[in-house]
């Protein structure tokens, strides 16, 4: 799909004011009926309009009150909630990944709308300085969620068909509203895992990645949030990022005049970058990360990683391709050459004893996840001196693998 509008629910998607709702109910239930509100009972109220909440709580706590009285107390709860919003709302309530998501959409000229059933929504976003292009007035639509009305109203405001819009929700009723409207549904959390969403994520910090993919951008990985580890040490995993430009690997490409010409012109393109968990260098640990190798070539030779043997020669490595197309070129000390295609969804095993390098033969970034024994170490020298026995070219859209003239060892018989 080509995304033209992003529509967000508020609570649980953009902000989390659950604690304020809890405190407000706690206060009115105690003042009015001397009831001690529990977290368990609060669960009944999530994502539900306040009068219905009050009815559910009255049933739960066996409250004997007239419908009018219940409505009055529900209104009092709302006043208590608004008071908390006025006095205690801060950046802390903004969910992680939201500012980045809104910035990303703004940078790409995609308008944003808020589709919240809450009348407090405009106040909340205004106070937090969050910018949305439009906020649907819940009173302007005939039916609340799970009816699609509020999402359809957002699309109509921008004159867009629902198929060009993406909706984001954390509750089942909201996801039903998005799907009913015919929009692409991004679901957050457990309710989204049941198959009700077109894209399901476990938390909002994955939203920049989802929208990045919808915008056709290469995966931008949030390493701090993307690694879940239970390492003994370091307790907090550190992630190392390495960027290799042409100047870091000038001698690796066959066409040396072309390399020199580029560098002399002041052009020093990024060839690849990788992010890796700094796991303890212990044989029982695994190091893992992601490499992004950009598309391009020097004198027809495709961009590639430097490539290396592992210092502990007897250690293998797994590569899993997430995006792009290319190949894994490998060779061992005896000159046995093996190469494997890399395409999304395929896993490649670089066997122990084989030097390995990624080569991007396509038009988009080649992104691979890798994992290897954390104490394996990297020996760039051995293969760096002799060079790989094969070079990969792309000429006129055709991929050609050639024996390297510059290779200093004898070809195998």
Residues near Zn ion (CB under 5 A): 317
Contact 367, 388 (CB under 8 A): no
**CB-nearer residue toward ligand PAN: 357 or 389:** 357
> Site residues for ligand PAN, window 309-338 (CB under 6 A)?
317
| 291 contacts ligand PAN (rule: CB under 6 A) | yes
d(C-alpha 108, C-alpha 254), whole Å: 38
Residue 388's binding partner out of ligand PAN, Zn ion, none, with CB under 5 to 8 Å set by partner kind: none
Whichever of 45 and 305 has its CB closer to ligand PAN, that residue is 305
Look at residue 305 and give the partner it binds from Zn ion, ligand PAN, none, a contact being a CB closer than 5 to 8 Å depending on partner kind. ligand PAN
Beta bridge partners of 289: 276, 370
Among 20, 25, 184, 370, binds ligand PAN (CB under 6 A): 370
79 membership: H or E segment, kind and range? helix 67-88
Of residues 343 through 362, those in contact with ligand PAN by CB under 6 A are 356-357
Cβ closest to ligand PAN, residue 118 vs residue 291: 291
d(CA 179, CA 169): 11
What is the spatial distance between Cα 68 and Cα 200, in angstroms, rounded to a whole number?
41
Residue 30 or 351 having the CB closest to Zn ion = 351
Could you tell which of Zn ion, ligand PAN, none binds residue 252, using a CB distance below 5 to 8 A set by kind? none
* Vertex 340 angle, CA 389 and 297, to 5°: 60
- Comparison of 205 and 317: residue with beta carbon closer to Zn ion: 317
Q: Is 391 in the site for ligand PAN (CB under 6 A)?
A: no
Stretches 6-14, 85-93, 216-224, 305-313: which one binds ligand PAN (CB under 6 A)?
305-313
- Identity of the residue, 206 or 291, whose beta carbon is nearer to ligand PAN in the bound complex: 291
Give 37 or 308: the residue with its C-beta nearer to ligand PAN: 308
| DSSP state letter for 67 | H
Q: Does residue 300 come out as left (phi exceeding 0), alpha (psi in the -120 to 50 range) or beta?
A: left
Min separation Cβ 327 and ligand PAN, Å: 13
Of the candidate residues 8, 20, 274, 354, the single one contacting ligand PAN (CB under 6 A): 274
Alpha helix locations (H) across 158-217?
172-181, 207-214
Q: Which stretch binds ligand PAN (CB under 6 A): 24-32, 109-117, 165-173, 306-314?
A: 306-314
**Which of Zn ion, ligand PAN, none has residue 111 at its interface (CB below 5 to 8 Å by kind)?**
none
SS3 labels along 308-327: EEECCCCCCEEEEEEECCEE
- Contact in structure between 320 and 368 (CB atoms under 8 Å): yes
Burial of residue 194, with CB atoms counted within 10 A of its CB: 0-12 exposed, 13-18 middle, 19 or more buried: exposed
Q: Give the whole-angstrom CA distance, residue 140 versus residue 147.
A: 13
Q: Is residue 307 near ligand PAN by the rule CB under 6 A? A: yes
Closest CA to 279 of 291, 292, 289, 265: 289
CB under 8 Å to 182, separation ≥6 — which residues?
148, 162, 163
Q: How far is the CB of 274 from ligand PAN (least distance, A)?
A: 4
Rounded CA-CA distance 100/79 in Å is 32
Residue 308 touching ligand PAN (CB under 6 A): yes
Of residues 158 and 340, the one with the C-beta less far from Zn ion: 340
Q: What is the nearest approach in angstroms of ligand PAN to the Cβ of residue 307?
A: 5
Nearer to ligand PAN, 204 or 291 (CB): 291
Which are the contacts of 406, defined by CB distance < 8 A and separation ≥ 6? 254, 387
The residues of the shown chain that bind ligand PAN, judged by CB under 6 A, are 274, 276, 289, 291, 305-308, 317, 356-357, 370, 372, 378
């Amino acid at each position: 799909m080509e995304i033209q509008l992003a529509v967000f629910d508020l609570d649980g998607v953009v902000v989390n004011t659950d604690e304020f709702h809890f405190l407000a109910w706690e206060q009115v239930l105690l003042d009015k009926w001397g009831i001690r509100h529990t977290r368990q009972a609060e669960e009944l109220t999530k994502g539900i309009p306040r009068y219905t909440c009050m009815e559910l709580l009255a049933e739960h706590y066996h409250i004997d009150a007239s419908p009018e009285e219940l409505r009055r107390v529900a209104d009092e709860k709302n006043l208590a909630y608004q008071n908390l919003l006025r006095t205690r709302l801060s950046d802390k309530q903004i969910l992680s990944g939201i500012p980045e998501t809104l910035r990303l959409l703004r940078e790409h000229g995609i308008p944003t709308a808020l589709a919240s059933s809450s009348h407090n929504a405009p106040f909340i976003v205004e106070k937090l300085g969050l910018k949305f292009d439009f906020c649907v007035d819940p009173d302007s639509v005939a039916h609340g969620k799970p009816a699609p009305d509020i999402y359809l109203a957002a699309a109509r405001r921008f004159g867009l068909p629902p198929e060009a819009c993406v909706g984001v929700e954390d509750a089942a009723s909201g996801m039903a509203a998005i799907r009913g409207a015919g929009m692409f549904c991004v679901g957050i959390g457990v309710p989204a895992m049941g198959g009700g969403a077109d894209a399901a994520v476990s938390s909002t910090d994955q939203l920049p990645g989802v929208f990045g993919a919808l915008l056709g951008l290469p995966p931008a990985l949030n390493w701090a949030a993307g690694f879940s580890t239970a390492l003994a040490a370091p307790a907090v995993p550190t992630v190392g990022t390495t960027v290799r430009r042409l100047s870091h690997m000038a001698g690796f490409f066959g066409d040396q005049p072309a390399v020199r010409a580029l560098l002399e012109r002041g052009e020093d393109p990024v060839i690849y970058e990788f992010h890796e968990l700094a796991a303890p260098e212990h044989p029982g640990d695994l190091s893992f990360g992601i490499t992004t190798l950009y598309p391009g070539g020097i004198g027809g030779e495709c961009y590639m990683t430097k490539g290396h043997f592992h210092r502990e020669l007897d250690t293998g490595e797994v590569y899993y391709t997430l995006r792009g197309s290319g190949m894994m070129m490998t060779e061992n000390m005896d000159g046995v050459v093996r190469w494997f295609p890399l395409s999304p969804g395929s896993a490649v095993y670089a066997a122990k004893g084989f030097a390995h390098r990624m080569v991007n033969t396509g038009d988009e970034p080649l992104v691979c996840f890798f994992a290897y024994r954390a104490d394996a170490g990297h020996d760039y020298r051995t293969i760096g001196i002799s060079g790989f026995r094969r070079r990969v070219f792309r000429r006129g859209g055709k991929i050609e693998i050639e024996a390297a003239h510059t290779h200093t060892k004898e070809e195998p018989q």
